[in-house]
Structure 1
């Protein structure tokens, strides 16, 4: 069964969910995982793509947009469609809804920042996963 983790930025934590996504992508990629970042829109996909280019000066995370990159050569893909290509390892959900394809992934990371709308929608997603019987883990990020 898919493991679902909620990462919640605490009040003292810097940044937003997109910057948190870069940190989680970096760690998961270094551990050898393939990652799919799911967003609400094309503009959000391009925003996270730009952030990944500048996340850490001393390292590069190979990434690209789902429909513009060779998925066999690109371990981190970004998209906002109803499909996630052939990906099935780690899903980082930056969208406000639960993706219809989430259950084919081994792990799902739900990222919540301080924005009230994002927090409310995150609670709704939490209830959806819980009501479907998924075990949920919550991690508060304070720095």
Structure 2
């Protein structure tokens, strides 16, 4: 059964979802987990790629865009089309909808900020995961 953690952020900072995704990715990577970050499109994928290099001084998170050379061996992948390969342990979903392949992951992270559209889409994803029988947990974070 997939465990889904919803991280509810109270901050109104720009890019807070993406920055928190970077922090979560770094933590999972340091614990030895393979991470897939699912985004909406190529533009958002490129922004996440850039942000993973710059979100925190001194941070190093080896990552690649899905379907690029060497991506299969990289511990962190960013994708927007297609399904990631086997062996990924954490899905960080930054899309408006639940990815069809979410059940291939033991853990999923959903990050909800204060934007009303994101909150509404997040509530729908919560219902979708609940209807699929996932184990759900919510974390309120003041960042």
The TM-score by the shorter chain falls in which range? over 0.9
* 8 Å CA contact retained: 2:53, 2:59: no
Using structure 2 for the length normalisation, give the TM-score: 0.93
1:90-105 alignment to 2 at 5 Å? 90-105=90-105
**CA RMSD after TM alignment:** 1.6
* 8 Å CA contact retained: 2:2, 2:107: yes
How many residues align structurally? 143
Structure 2: stretches of 5+ with no match in the other structure? none
- Matched with 1:82 is 82
Structure 1: stretches of 5+ with no match in the other structure? none
- Matched with 1:43 is 43
Using structure 1 for the length normalisation, give the TM-score: 0.93
* Runs of 4+ that moved beyond 2 A: 11-15, 85-88
User: How far apart, in 2, do the equivalents of 1:26 and 1:14 lie?
Assistant: 20
**Higher mean Cα deviation, 84-93 or 96-105?**
84-93
1:1-143 alignment to 2 at 5 Å? 1-11=1-11, 15-143=15-143
**Higher mean Cα deviation, 120-129 or 76-85?**
76-85
Residues 27-75 of structure 1: per-residue CA shift (max 9 Å, x gap): 1111110000000111011111100010222121101101114134310
